[in-house]
Amino acid sequence: MKEVSGISQVGPEARSGSWSGVLAMSLGAFALIASEFMPVSLLTPIAADLQSSEGQAGQAISVSGAFAVLTSLFISSLTRGLDRKWLLLGLIGVMIVSGSVVSVAPNYLIFMLGRALIGVVIGGFWSMSAATVMRLVEEHHVPRALAILNGGNALATVIAAPAGSFLGGLIGWRGAFFCVVPVAVIVFLWQLVSLPSMTSGKTHASPNVFRLLKKPLVAVGMAGAGLFFMGQFSLFTYVRPFLEIVAHVNVSTLSFILLLIGVSGLVGTLLIGGLLKNSVYPVLIIIPFIMALLVVGLLCLGKSIVMSAVILTIWGLFATSAPVGWWTWLARTLPNDAEAGGGLMVAVVQLAITMGATCGGILFDGSGYRATFGVSALILIAASLSALMANRIYKRGVYVAILK
Q: Which CATH number does the domain housing residue 141 bear?
A: 1.20.1250.20
Give per-residue pLDDT as tens, 206-245: 556 788 888 899 999 999 999 999 999 899 888 888 998 8
DSSP secondary structure, 205-225, as one string: S-S-GGGGGGSHHHHHHHHHH
Model confidence pLDDT, tens digit, residues 295-332: 999 999 988 999 999 999 999 999 988 888 887 788 77
The structure's pTM equals: 0.75
Question: How many CB atoms are located within 10 Å of the residue 393 CB?
Answer: 18
**Phi, psi of 103, deg, nearest 5:** -70, -20
168 lies in the same domain as 217: no
Burial of residue 180 (CB within 10 Å: 0-12, 13-18, 19+) is: buried
| Cβ pair 229, 353 in contact under 8 A | yes
Whether residue 192 is found in the same domain as residue 214:
no
Choice among 46-55, 87-96, 276-285 with the minimum mean pLDDT: 46-55
* Domain end residue (candidates: 138, 172, 197): 197
Any residues with CB less than 8 A from the CB of 127 and at least 6 apart, and which? 71, 72, 75, 76, 339, 342, 343, 346
CB neighbour class for 11 (10 Å; exposed up to 12, middle 13-18, buried from 19) = exposed
In a domain, 1, yes or no: no
Residue 13 lies inside a defined structural domain of this protein: no
DSSP letter assigned to residue 43: H
Highest mean predicted confidence (pLDDT) among 46-55, 163-172, 212-221, 391-400: 212-221
CA distance 21 to 190: 8
Res. 143 pLDDT band, cuts 50 70 90? low
Domain end: 136, 171, 197, which one? 197
The chain-wide mean pLDDT, for the chain, equals 83
SS3 201: coil
Q: Name the domain count of the chain.
A: 2
**Euclidean distance between CA atoms 119 and 166, whole angstroms:** 24
